[in-house]
Amino acid sequence: MKLNLIILSLFFTTFLAQGENVIGLIKSIDREARLLNLDVKGSINRYKIGLGDASYLKESSFIRANSIMSDGDWMLERVWPNNRIDEKILKDSNRTLRRETERMGRKAFRSFKDPMPTFAFYSHRGELIRSSMLQGKITLLNFIFTRCRIPNMCPAATERITKLLAMTKDSGIKNVQVFSITLDPDYDTPGILNEYAKSKGIEDNNFHFLTGPTKAVEDMQKHHGIETKDDETFGIYHTMMTVVIDPKKNVYYQVPGSFWSADDYLSRIKKLADEI
């Protein structure tokens, strides 16, 4: 009987490890080796994780992910935070966003002085970012995705908005933050965005790459006039918009397209800062 119990326990652990969907508590992380021990229903399983995930995940936090076999080792991909409180806030906020989007219909597009909608997303650091965090700050908002293949689109936009954030600091303007929302949430998990941020040398705590439920991303696109379509050449073909949001959570300035000027935006932000 004892032997049977041991065999059953080993089988149960292996079954959990092979499951596509894994939910568990992180017991320990080896960031350098990119390994974590995950408590899944009382069984401790070891997994390899991606570079971006290894950078931001923390011990004693809950995650959900897919487990796959890679080069003879179990690996977690599509890793998401799974804190119950944060998940409830995320769902409630984006349920409100959905209602706002449906109610406004074609008028959902936000223009000058229009208030921002309710939303919640995860950042590339695994933090829950809510629309309430717009209050009291000047926010730059745009849309990108990490697999963008057009140099003068997402990569250029990320480089320019990073430069603009640095310019605001050099000008002595305080409380400026960036919300950069992915257009590819099925691929761009917090860990993928974290790795993207590192590849761009972005370490500023006021810069937040955001991702979350696909429907919430689509709703935010509607509020800012972003159109997308799948494209064999470019992956996702999309329009662009870079928005300045004032400390009262209203749209202050925005320019469609990819050819906006950091100097122009800096002058607008300076004017806004003087008005506060």
Q: Which of 31, 145, 19 is nearest to 76 (CA)?
A: 19
pLDDT at 4 exceeding the cut of 70: no
pLDDT band (50, 70, 90) for residue 193: very high
Q: What is the DSSP letter of 212?
A: -
Highest mean pLDDT among 8-12, 130-134, 228-232: 130-134
Let me know: does 268 contact 167? Beta carbons within 8 Å.
no
Query: Alpha-carbon distance 26 to 29, whole Å?
Result: 7
- In CATH terms, the fold of domain 84-275 is Glutaredoxin (3.40.30)
Structure-block tokens of residue 112: 């000058």
pLDDT band per the 50, 70, 90 thresholds, residue 33? very high
Chain-centre distance for alpha carbon 37: 24
Rounded CA gap, 150 and 257, in Å? 14
What is the C-alpha to C-alpha distance for residues 84 and 61, in angstroms, rounded to an integer? 11
- Rounded Cα–Cα distance for residues 161 and 207 (Å): 10
pLDDT at residue 13 greater than cutoff 70: no
Global confidence as pTM:
0.91
And the tokens for 263?
């100097």
What is the structure's pLDDT at 2? 42
Delimiting residues of CATH 2.40.50.140 domain(s) in the chain: 2-81
The fraction of the chain above a pLDDT of 70, given in percent, is: 93
Question: Average pLDDT in the 5-26 region?
Answer: 58
Strands (E), the chain: 21-30, 35-40, 43-48, 62-70, 73-81, 120-123, 128-130, 138-144, 176-182, 207-211, 228-231, 235-238, 241-245, 251-256
CATH number of 2-81: 2.40.50.140
Is residue 70 helix, strand or coil?
strand
Task: Report yes or no: 89 and 103 within 8 Å, Cβ to Cβ.
Answer: no
The residue that leads in pLDDT, 55 or 7, is: 55
Instruction: Reply yes or no on whether the pLDDT at 37 is more than 70.
Output: yes
The amino acid occupying position 92 is D
Give the single-character DSSP code of 147. Answer: T
pLDDT tens for 58-111 read 999 999 999 999 888 999 999 999 999 999 999 999 999 999 999 999 889 999
Whether the CB-CB separation of 240 and 256 falls below 8 Å is answered with yes
If pLDDT is split at 50, 70 and 90, which confidence band does 17 have? Answer: very low
- Exposed (0-12), middle (13-18) or buried (19+): which is 41, by Cβ within 10 Å? exposed
**Tens of pLDDT, residues 234-244:** 788 899 999 99
What pLDDT shows up at residue 45?
95
In the chain, ranges of CATH 3.40.30.10 domains: 84-275
Residues 44 and 159: their CA atoms lie apart, in Å, by 42
Confidence (pLDDT) at 275: 92
The mean pLDDT value for 239-258 works out to: 96
